[in-house]
Structure 1
C-alpha cells in the first residue's frame, strides 16, 4: 500500500518536465511526510472547457488525497480511500466511474512502507523504509480522481479528490511488503491520461523496468508521526539514536 510519501518537486518544475499547465494557486512547500486527506499534486489531461473538441492539455492540480465518490452523502464518515487495488478497481462502485473517465498521475519523490521486524527485547516492531528511484528522479504513480459536490449545500463548490492505485509487489519490493503503489512509466502516461478513452486494464500492471529502478533504505522512526516533516525523514538511518513510537 501507499499511505505516506514525499514530494519535493515544485509544480512549476513538474509543469516544465511534463509539458503541463500549472493550475495550482498556492505557494509550494516541499513535503517529506504526505499523509491522507492532504491536498496533493496531481496531473490530469483535459480538453479546454471552451473547446471540448480541441486538443488535450496536461494540467497540474491540487486534490484531496482520499477519493470521495461523486455519490457520497458527506465526507469523513469512513476511512479515506487513499489507495485502490488495481485488480478490482473496475468493479468497485467507488472507483469504476473514475477509472473510465478520470485518471491521473500522482508525482512523488518516493514512498514509505513499514516492515515488521524483531526488536532486541523480543517484541515485534514496525520499521520504516523509503522507496525511491536510485537516480533520484521523481516517480509518477497511477491515480484516479473524482469531483464531489456537497448535496446538502446549494451550488456547493467542487471538491477534487484522488487515490493511488496499488498492485501486488514484485521483485525486490516484495521482500518489504505485499503491496506497492503502481508506478507508471513515461511511455504509458498519454494513454493513461487520455480523457477520450474508457479505462486501460492493460496499463494497470507493474512495469518490471520501473520497479528495477527502485531502491529502498531504512529511515528514521520520526516519519511515524505526521507532525515531523523535513529532509532528514528520507535520509538513510543506521539504527542508532533515539527512536519514536509508531503512531
Structure 2
C-alpha cells in the first residue's frame, strides 16, 4: 500500500512533461505529506491529445457510483486485480493517467521506534529515484457526478509487488513509468494487454532512507519531513 507521497515542484513537473503553462494547472502547490482524499495533480490526455495537468481527488470514485458519499480505501489499486475488480476495471481500460511525485513513504513493520509522544510506531522511510528527479506513477481516473453538486474528477495509483531495494522495507510499491512508456499508458487506444506489458516493464531504480515519525500525522507538512535521520 502507498498511502502517502510527496508532489514535485510545479516547475519541475512542467519540465518533466514538457507541459506549457496553459496545460500545467497553475493551482498546484507542492505538498510534502499527501494523504488520501487530498486534491492532487494528475496528467491526462485532453481532447486535443495533449498532456495536461488536472486537479483530481486522490481516491477513485467510479462513474457508476450510486451512493451519496465516496467509497473508502479507493486510493490504491492492486495492478494484479485492476482488470477484474468492478472498482477499477473500466478505468484501467480507458481512463489511465500519471500521478506526478517526487517520492513516497512506506513504514517498515519490522522496525519499531518511538515517536515524539513516546508511542511505539513503525519506522517510516522515504523512497525516491536513485539520483532523485520527478516520478510518474501509473494511475487511473474517473469523473463522477454526485446527485447534487458538480462533477468530481478522482484518481487512484496502481501498485505492484515490491522489487529491488524497496522490497527490504515493504512488500508493495507504486507502478512508476519511464518517459518512453507514457504515450502507450495514456492513450485510450492502448489495449488492456499492452497496458499490462507497460506495468511489467515499470521502473525499478529506487532507494530509501529513514525519515522522522512526524510524517505519520497528516497535519505535519514541510521539507523537513523528507530529511534523512
The number of aligned residues is 220
The verdict on how the C-alpha distance between 1:220 and 1:157 changes in structure 2, with shifts beyond 3 A counting, is same
Aligned to 1:233: 225
TM-superposed CA distance for 1:77, in Å, is: 5.5
Aligned to 1:43: 43
Structure 2 partner of 1:205: 200
The structure having more radius of gyration, on CA atoms, is 1
**TM-score using structure 1 length:** 0.83
Q: Alignment partner for residue 210 of structure 2, among 192, 204, 218?
A: 218
Structure 1 CA distance for aligned equivalents of residues 215 and 32 of structure 2: 9
Native 8 Å contact 1:99 1:198 kept in 2: no
Q: Does 1:2 align with 2:13?
A: no
Q: Report the alpha carbon displacement of residue 25 of structure 1 after superposing the two structures with TM.
A: 5.1
Question: Counterparts of 1:118-197 in structure 2 under 5 Å?
Answer: 118-119=112-113, 125-150=121-146, 152-153=147-148, 156-197=149-190
Query: Would the aligned equivalents of 2:12 and 2:134 in 1 still touch at CA under 8 Å?
Result: no
RMSD: 1.9
Cα distance between partner residues in 2 of 1:119 and 1:39: 31
Decide whether aligned partners of structure 1 residues 127 and 118 sit closer, same or farther in structure 2, where only a CA change above 3 A counts. closer
- Show structure 1 runs of 4+ deviating over 6 A: none
Q: Distance in 2 between matches of 1:171 and 1:25?
A: 36
Question: How far, CA to CA, are the matches of 1:118 and 1:220 in structure 2?
Answer: 13
SS at the partner of 2:99? Answer: strand
Give unpaired runs (5+ residues) of structure 2. none
2:88 aligns to what?
Answer: 95
Q: Retained in 2: the 8 A contact 1:44–1:104?
A: yes
1:44-72, CA deviations, whole angstroms, 9 ceiling, x for partnerless residues? 11323xxxxxxx21111110000001111
The CA distance in 1 between the partners of 2:96 and 2:113, in whole Å, is 42
Deviation at 1:41, TM superposition (A): 0.5
Q: For the Cα contact (< 8 Å) 1:108–1:140, is it kept in 2?
A: yes
Judged with a 3 Å threshold, the aligned counterparts in structure 2 of structure 1 residues 235 and 13 are, in CA distance, closer, same or farther, namely closer
TM-score (norm 2): 0.89
- Seen in structure 2, the aligned counterparts of structure 1 residues 128 and 62 have a Cα distance that, compared at 3 Å, is same
> Shift in Å at residue 190 of structure 1?
0.5
